[in-house]
């Protein structure tokens, strides 16, 4: 082989490169990637992906960043993170309110989903602890025994969510004088894997269930009725009450409004119903489809809906 002719080789290379151009029309917004937060429960992953992928189809660049439900506000305040698609009134309200007070975080309105989180038991447990769903039943020694397991004996066992979700369950147990030990599930999946296993065998279980989620409709059971939540109960750090109910909000770093005004507008319009979300989570958790596939399918099927967010 003779000597390579470098100028020609380079020119050929450059030509091949330019032929692979993927020129995309730029939106009027900044071309920097928008950083979406991914938390550790399936619903949030879906909400984030749906909004993020919709924006991508409109020519935006999106980065997905892993952050925890409590720590994420730190990132939102400094602009390290841009958008959080689910902020639950049930557990995150306090931190969210504090973040809003700094002025660096903006509430982008409700997602359309209503949140409920509380201690939950399957229906068959009512036979073993007849006083339920009233929380006072949990004070009866018989009930404590019914919910007790070798790990926690002589105390009852309550399976809480991953510690990342907060929720003040340790404080609640202490404030209400319940003889229960809070075991944290570590992960979302472990929580429901245990419920499934226990439910099949009618084994005793008392655990943290949240909605929107498929579990309350697939399994028969009820939420424990604690003394109703009041803002003072949490503000004064008493925690002798149940968890608050309320909407799920969207939140953003306050700079999003000026940096990506159109995207900001679209995220504000994002809306999805609780039932819809339940079905999507079911597809991921039970039918073992990937979050990405479920998102793509939803976007393909609901094109008119998400395109309307950009009007």
Partner 1 sequence: MTRDRTSFSFEQRFGISAAIVVALACVSWSLPIAAKYPLSWKWPLDQLLTMWLKFLVAQISFITRGIAHILQMPLDFAIGLLAKGFEIPLGSETVTIPPLSWAGVCATFVWIGYRVGGTRLALLQAACSAYIVLFWQWHAAMLTLASVLVCVPVAVACGLLIGVFAYSRPKLNQWVLTPGLDIMQTVPAFAYLIPTLLLFGFGPVAAMIATVIFATPPMARVTTLALNQTPMEIRELGKMVGCTERQTIWRILLPSSLPSLLVGLNQTVMMTLNMVIVASMIGAGGLGFDVLRALRQLDIDRGFESGVAIVLLAVMLDRQGVALANAAKPGAASSKTLAAMFGVPLAFLIVATLLGTQFDWLREFPKALRLSTGATLNDAVSWININYFDAIEAFRIFVLTHFMTPIKVALTSAPWLFVSGVVTVFAYFVGGARMAFLSAFVFAFCLVTGLWDKAMITIYLCLSATVISVVIGIPIAVLAARFDPLYRATTVAIEVLQTLPSFVYLIPVVMLFRVGDFAALLAIVAFAITPIIKFTMTALRTVPADLVEAGKSMGCSGAQMDFFIRFPVALPSILLGINQALLFALAMVVITALVGTRDLGQEVYIALTAANPGRGLVAGLCLALLGILIDRLFQAGVARLQHRKSSQSFVHGELAAA
User: Token digits for 42?
Assistant: 């399936």
| 304 is an interface residue for partner 1 by CB under 8 A | no
Calpha distance 31→155 (Å, rounded): 56
Name which position in 201, 237, 300, 301 contacts partner 1 (CB under 8 A). 201
Rounded Cα distance between 222 and 123, Å, is: 7
From 7, 22, 28, 301, residue interacting with partner 1 (rule: CB under 8 A): 22
Task: Quickly tell me which residue has 């999805």 as its tokens.
Answer: 272
Q: Which of 68, 110, 225, 265 binds partner 1 (CB under 8 A)?
A: 68
Write the DSSP symbol of residue 122.
E
Query: What residues are paired with 246 via a beta bridge?
Result: 115
The residue ranges of DSSP E strands in the chain, in sequence order, are 34-38, 62-66, 83-88, 105-122, 156-160, 180-184, 207-211, 221-223, 246-253
Number of residues that bind partner 1 (CB under 8 A): 52
Residues 239 and 177: their CA atoms lie apart, in Å, by 11
Tell me the closest approach of the beta carbon of residue 160 to partner 1, in angstroms. 8
- Of 99-118, binders to partner 1 (CB under 8 A) are none
Q: Does 194 bind partner 1 (CB under 8 A)?
A: yes
Q: Which is closer to partner 1, CB of 80 or CB of 123?
A: 80
Question: Residue 113 Cβ, how far from partner 1 at the closest point, in Å?
Answer: 21
Residue ranges in contact with partner 1 by CB under 8 A: 13, 16-24, 26, 31, 35, 40, 42, 65-75, 78, 80-81, 150-151, 153, 159, 163-164, 166, 181-190, 193-194, 197, 201, 285, 288
């Amino acid at each position: 082989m003779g000597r390579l002719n470098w100028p020609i080789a380079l020119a050929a290379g450059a030509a091949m490169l330019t032929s692979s151009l993927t020129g995309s029309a730029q939106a009027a917004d900044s071309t920097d990637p928008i950083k979406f937060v991914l938390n550790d429960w399936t619903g949030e992953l879906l909400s984030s992906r749906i909004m993020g992928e919709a924006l991508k189809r409109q020519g935006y660049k999106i980065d997905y960043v892993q952050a925890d439900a409590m720590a994420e506000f730190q990132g939102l305040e400094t602009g390290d993170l841009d958008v959080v698609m689910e902020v639950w009134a049930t557990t995150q309200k306090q931190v969210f309110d504090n973040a809003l007070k700094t002025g660096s975080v903006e509430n982008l309105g409700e997602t359309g989903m209503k949140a409920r989180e509380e201690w939950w038991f399957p229906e068959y447990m009512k036979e073993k602890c007849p006083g339920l769903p009233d929380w006072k039943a949990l004070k009866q020694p018989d009930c404590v025994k019914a919910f007790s397991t070798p790990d926690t004996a002589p105390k009852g066992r309550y399976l809480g969510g991953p510690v990342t979700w907060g929720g003040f369950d340790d404080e609640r147990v202490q404030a209400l004088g319940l003889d229960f030990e809070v075991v944290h599930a570590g992960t979302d999946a472990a929580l429901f894997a245990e419920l499934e296993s226990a439910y099949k065998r009618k084994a005793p279980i008392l655990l943290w269930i949240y909605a929107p989620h498929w579990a309350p409709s697939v399994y028969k059971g009820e939420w424990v009725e604690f003394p109703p939540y009041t803002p003072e109960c949490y503000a004064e750090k008493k925690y002798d009450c149940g968890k608050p109910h309320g909407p799920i909000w969207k939140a953003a770093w306050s700079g999003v409004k000026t940096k990506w005004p159109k995207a900001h507008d679209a995220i504000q319009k994002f809306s999805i119903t609780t039932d819809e979300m339940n079905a999507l989570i079911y597809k991921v958790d039970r039918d073992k489809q990937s979050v990405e596939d479920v998102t793509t399918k939803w976007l393909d099927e609901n094109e008119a809906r998400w395109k309307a967010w950009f009007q």
